[in-house]
């Protein structure tokens, strides 16, 4: 007869088993079984009267004492002891009969000691905890206006709730739990800050609350069922506007509405009146109490945007809880902005190409004078930098995706846009320094053309490269380099990486203004004392001065508007103005950097059209006279 004998595992090294008096011929032979053992240090708690057995870091739910209702949640700590994490037990005596009396007393205390309570965060927190304990008890509570007045009193303590965000989330959770324990009859409680409505319906439900929130239920389980709606007039000012990505750039732009039902509702539509019409990009969200380790946050899962017309937003959700809408002051979806931006960028790029073609045609003639040569080197590099930046801008716009952020391609586009926009400003700075040097003659011994050229390239491309590399190295590891909204540009909300462009750009604009004032003063003073410069040299300096005098305030105004677009609330006029001026920078460089130079126009005209013979002779004499004066100037600077 086959017999099974259980062999227990032993921690000792191998042992032998001998079977005695076994009938028949037993099968024998070595048996081997491999097992994986998980070794670790943990405590096993035995015979705990409330929470039972458990291991380290485990949670357990235990009952309350005999005279209380609710539950206790505890966790096993490192020393093998159960520690209470949450205790929601309340006295059983807090029943249907005693609760109204208790709430009346709480309401009277709140009314009589308003001045003292609103200045005490601990007292406000205690009142919220009382409401939470009442809600967790899950009793058949006869809700009346007294409870709503207590809740309204708490909502009036805005400065406390704004300071302690967890308190506002706890208050909302308490009200959600309370709405699940209301009496069955339909009723309505209306206070200045809270509207509670419980309605019984059969198949469909449609109603409008406070003329600010509409609710439509087209599908339900059928039969008689109830729905409870609480509309808050100030909760949008209390709850934080953080979403599941922990972004704080949004605003709660609709009333917060709490919806509960005693049946399953899989499809409900909400229509919110927009509170601030200057905001855009609406998101349909609900308050998720589990986000951020229990602090809570707005979540969009299960909710979709249906319509956004006439300052109303319609959302469709497949579950019930507390809802609202989030809207942002940044990156507005405005067709006018798109048209201005892309048409302007096209004009800008065409202007820059024309500028570079003109510079290529006249390049040999401008090399005769060192100052003129260095000025045109600056103009060419300014045009090249802006042209490449615009190309990368178009690439970045093409690969931007709101659903997928931090794409390597988007980071690459942002890096080059940042680098070449900075190069544009630093080459303007180099041009201003050239003007200052030629006017004031800072260096007594003078610098050669090659030395000034080396300084220009180090300043024009070296400084922007260092700033761009440091910016991406510092912010990219924390996912703070590009914007989380999907645009391929420097982040502002989380890391303030955009300051790595704004600060250098506006600083250069300010420095160039100072340089312009110094140069104008020096040139007027020279004129007054009769110290006239050489004709060719003076002409070049005047051209540089005139170019910077126009481009510096233009770029300064453009990026000052850019800073204004980052400041909430959304200002459509500022966005349109910034898009207009920013997209036409190339046209301004062509006009004021190249075409306003009389010698450039003359040289270009003479290249395309031959002059009559009697004018050519006079022109050759003038050119030889000018060339001789320019050669003397070049010999002094080489």
- For the ranges 21-30, 368-377, 379-388, 610-619, the lowest mean pLDDT is seen at 610-619
**CA 318, CA 8: separation in Å to the nearest integer?**
54
Q: How confident is the model at residue 521 (pLDDT cuts 50, 70, 90)?
A: confident
Q: Note the pLDDT of residue 414.
A: 92
Mean of pLDDT values over 415-436: 89
Please write the tens of the pLDDT for every residue from 559-606: 777 777 766 555 677 778 888 887 778 888 888 777 776 666 565 555
Q: How confident is the model at residue 7 (pLDDT cuts 50, 70, 90)?
A: low
Angle at 209 between CA 569 and CA 319, to 5 degrees: 85
Angle at 452 between CA 446 and CA 457, to 5 degrees: 165
Q: Note the pLDDT of residue 31.
A: 60
Answer whether 194's CB lies under 8 Å from 216's CB: no
Give buried/exposed letters for 35-59 (b at 16+ CB in 10 A, else e). eeeeeeeeeebeeeeebeebebeee
Mean of pLDDT values over 546-562: 72
**CA 522, CA 520: separation in Å to the nearest integer?**
6
- The candidate with the shortest Cα–Cα distance to 314, out of 341, 289, 283, 290, is 283
For 420, the 3-state DSSP assignment is helix
- For the ranges 43-57, 124-138, 289-303, the lowest mean pLDDT is seen at 124-138
Please write the tens of the pLDDT for every residue from 492-518: 777 889 899 989 988 998 898 888 888
Question: Around 28, how many Cα atoms within 13 Å sit in the side-chain half-sphere?
Answer: 9
Please write the tens of the pLDDT for every residue from 52-81: 887 777 888 888 877 677 788 888 887 778
Q: Note the pLDDT of residue 474.
A: 93
**Biggest distance spanned by C-alpha atoms of the chain:** 139
Beta-bridge partner residues of 49: none
Q: Note the pLDDT of residue 65.
A: 79
- The candidate with the shortest Cα–Cα distance to 92, out of 114, 126, 66, is 66
Give me Rg for the CA atoms of the chain: 38
Burial class (CB in 10 A: 0-12, 13-18, 19+), 34: exposed
Alpha carbon distances (Å) from 307 to 214, 218, 272, 512: 13, 17, 10, 49
Task: Look at residue 402 and tell me whether its pLDDT is greater than 60.
Answer: no
Q: Note the pLDDT of residue 614.
A: 46
Higher-confidence residue: 627 or 425? 425
| Assigned token pair, 309 | 């017309």
Alpha carbon distances (Å) from 321 to 142, 423, 514: 21, 52, 59
pTM summary value: 0.52
**CA 143, CA 178: separation in Å to the nearest integer?**
9
Q: Note the pLDDT of residue 622.
A: 39
Burial class (CB in 10 A: 0-12, 13-18, 19+), 505: buried
Helix (H) or strand (E) holding 600: helix 598-608
Higher-confidence residue: 99 or 356? 356
Q: Note the pLDDT of residue 405.
A: 47
Angle at 114 between CA 110 and CA 117, to 5 degrees: 85
Answer whether 381's CB lies under 8 Å from 427's CB: yes
Phi, psi of 630 (to 5 degrees): -70, -35
Q: How confident is the model at residue 617 (pLDDT cuts 50, 70, 90)?
A: very low
Task: Look at residue 160 and tell me whether its pLDDT is greater than 60.
Answer: no
| Assigned token pair, 443 | 């260096």
| Assigned token pair, 81 | 């002891």
Alpha carbon distances (Å) from 329 to 333, 400, 401, 487, 568: 11, 19, 18, 14, 6
Task: Look at residue 306 and tell me whether its pLDDT is greater than 70.
Answer: yes
For the chain, give the percent of residues with pLDDT over 90: 10
Q: Write down all domains in the chain, each with its CATH number in brackets.
A: 98-328 (2.60.220.50), 336-464+512-637 (1.20.1070.10)
134 Cβ partners below 8 Å, 6+ apart? 90, 94, 99, 141, 174, 178
- The candidate with the shortest Cα–Cα distance to 285, out of 246, 247, 258, 324, is 324
Q: How confident is the model at residue 19 (pLDDT cuts 50, 70, 90)?
A: low
Task: Look at residue 396 and tell me whether its pLDDT is greater than 70.
Answer: yes
- For the ranges 94-103, 154-163, 414-423, 543-552, the lowest mean pLDDT is seen at 154-163
504 Cβ partners below 8 Å, 6+ apart? 422, 425, 426, 463, 464, 467
Answer whether 257's CB lies under 8 Å from 212's CB: no
Q: Note the pLDDT of residue 260.
A: 86
Place of tokens 């180090």: 458
Q: Note the pLDDT of residue 97.
A: 46
The DSSP symbol for 283 reads E
Helix (H) or strand (E) holding 282: strand 280-288
Task: Give me the helices (H) in 307-366, please.
Answer: 335-361, 363-366
Sheet of 303-309, strands arranged across: 205-209, 213-217, 268-273, 312-317, 303-309
Please write the tens of the pLDDT for every residue from 203-214: 788 888 877 888
The DSSP symbol for 231 reads E
**CA 72, CA 89: separation in Å to the nearest integer?**
7
Whole-number average pLDDT of the chain: 73
| Assigned token pair, 249 | 């750039």
Task: Look at residue 331 and tell me whether its pLDDT is greater than 80.
Answer: no
**CA 607, CA 109: separation in Å to the nearest integer?**
93
Higher-confidence residue: 284 or 567? 284
Q: Note the pLDDT of residue 389.
A: 92
Q: How confident is the model at residue 613 (pLDDT cuts 50, 70, 90)?
A: very low
Alpha carbon distances (Å) from 169 to 125, 155, 257: 11, 12, 14
Q: Note the pLDDT of residue 470.
A: 96
Q: How confident is the model at residue 29 (pLDDT cuts 50, 70, 90)?
A: low
Task: Look at residue 633 and tell me whether its pLDDT is greater than 60.
Answer: no
For 370, the 3-state DSSP assignment is helix
> Measured on CA atoms in the order 258, 263, 264, 267, is the torsion positive or negative?
negative
Alpha carbon distances (Å) from 476 to 406, 471, 483, 487, 564: 9, 8, 11, 15, 26
Beta-bridge partner residues of 280: 328
Report the 10 Å Cβ neighbour count for 305. Answer: 15
Q: Note the pLDDT of residue 388.
A: 95
Report the 10 Å Cβ neighbour count for 169. Answer: 24
Place of tokens 């680098």: 419
Q: Note the pLDDT of residue 462.
A: 95
Please write the tens of the pLDDT for every residue from 74-113: 888 877 788 887 777 765 654 444 555 666 666 666 666 6
Mean of pLDDT values over 168-195: 76
| Assigned token pair, 622 | 């003038």
Task: Look at residue 224 and tell me whether its pLDDT is greater than 50.
Answer: yes
Q: Note the pLDDT of residue 465.
A: 96
User: Percent helix, strand and coil across the chain, each rounded to 5?
Assistant: 50, 15, 35
| Assigned token pair, 619 | 């022109």
**CA 410, CA 482: separation in Å to the nearest integer?**
8
Answer whether 333's CB lies under 8 Å from 575's CB: no
């Amino acid at each position: 007869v086959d017999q099974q004998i259980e062999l227990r595992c032993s921690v000792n090294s191998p042992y032998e088993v001998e079977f005695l008096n076994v009938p028949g011929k037993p099968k024998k032979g070595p048996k081997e079984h491999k097992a994986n053992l998980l070794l670790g240090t943990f405590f096993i708690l035995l015979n705990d009267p409330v929470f039972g057995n458990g291991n380290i870091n485990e949670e357990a739910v235990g009952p309350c004492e005999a005279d209380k209702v609710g539950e206790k949640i505890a966790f096993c700590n490192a020393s093998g002891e159960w520690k209470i994490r949450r205790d929601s037990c309340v006295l059983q005596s807090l029943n249907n009969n005693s609760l109204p009396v208790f709430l009346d007393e709480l309401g009277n205390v709140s009314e009589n000691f308003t001045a003292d309570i609103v200045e005490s965060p601990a007292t406000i927190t205690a009142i919220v905890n009382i409401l939470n304990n009442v809600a967790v008890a899950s009793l058949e509570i006869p809700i009346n206006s007294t409870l709503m007045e207590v809740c309204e009193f708490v909502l009036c303590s805005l400065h406390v709730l704004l300071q302690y965000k967890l308190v506002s989330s706890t208050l909302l959770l308490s009200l959600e739990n309370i709405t699940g324990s209301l009496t069955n009859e339909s009723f309505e409680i209306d206070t200045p800050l809270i509207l509670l409505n419980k309605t019984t319906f059969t198949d469909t439900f449609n109603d409008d609350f406070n003329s600010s929130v509409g609710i439509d239920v087209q599908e339900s389980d059928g039969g008689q069922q109830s729905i409870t709606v609480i509309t808050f007039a100030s909760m949008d000012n209390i709850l934080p506007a953080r979403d599941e990505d922990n972004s704080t750039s949004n605003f709660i732009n609709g009333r917060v509405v709490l919806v509960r039902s005693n049946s399953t509702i899989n499809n409900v539509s909400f229509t919110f009146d927009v509170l601030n019409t200057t905001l855009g990009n609406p998101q349909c969200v609900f308050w998720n109490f589990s986000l951020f380790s229990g602090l809570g946050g707005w979540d969009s899962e299960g909710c979709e945007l249906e319509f956004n017309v006439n300052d109303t937003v319609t959302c469709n959700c497949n579950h019930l809880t507390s809802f609202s809408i989030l809207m942002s002051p940044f990156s507005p979806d405005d067709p006018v902005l798109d048209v201005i931006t892309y048409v302007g960028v096209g004009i800008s790029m065409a202007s820059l190409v024309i500028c570079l073609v003109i510079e290529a045609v006249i390049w040999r003639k401008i090399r005769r004078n060192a100052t003129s040569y260095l000025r045109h080197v600056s103009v060419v590099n300014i045009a090249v930098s802006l042209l490449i930046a615009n190309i990368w801008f178009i690439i970045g716009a093409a690969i931007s995706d709101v659903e997928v952020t931090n794409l390597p391609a988007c980071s690459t586009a942002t890096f080059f846009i940042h680098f070449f926009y900075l190069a544009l400003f630093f080459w303007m700075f180099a041009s201003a320094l050239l003007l200052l040097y030629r006017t004031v003659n800072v260096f007594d011994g003078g610098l050669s053309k090659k030395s000034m050229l080396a300084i220009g390239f180090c300043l024009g491309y070296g400084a922007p490269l260092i700033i761009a590399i440091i910016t991406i190295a510092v912010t990219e590891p924390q996912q703070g380099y590009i914007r989380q909204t999907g645009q391929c540009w420097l982040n502002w909300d989380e890391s303030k990486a955009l300051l790595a462009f704004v600060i250098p750009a506006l600083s250069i604009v300010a420095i160039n203004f100072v340089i312009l004032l110094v140069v104008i003063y020096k040139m007027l003073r020279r004129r007054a004392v009769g110290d006239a410069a050489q004709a060719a040299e003076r002409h070049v300096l005047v051209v540089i001065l005139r170019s910077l005098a126009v481009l510096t305030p233009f770029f300064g105004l453009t990026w000052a508007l850019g800073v204004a677009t980052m400041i909430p609330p959304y200002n459509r006029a500022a966005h349109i103005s910034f898009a207009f001026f920013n997209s036409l920078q190339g046209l301004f460089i062509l006009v004021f950097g190249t075409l306003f130079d009389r010698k450039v126009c003359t040289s270009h005209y003479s290249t395309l059209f031959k002059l009559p013979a009697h004018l050519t002779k006079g022109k050759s004499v003038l050119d030889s006279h000018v060339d001789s004066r320019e050669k003397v100037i070049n010999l002094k600077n080489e």
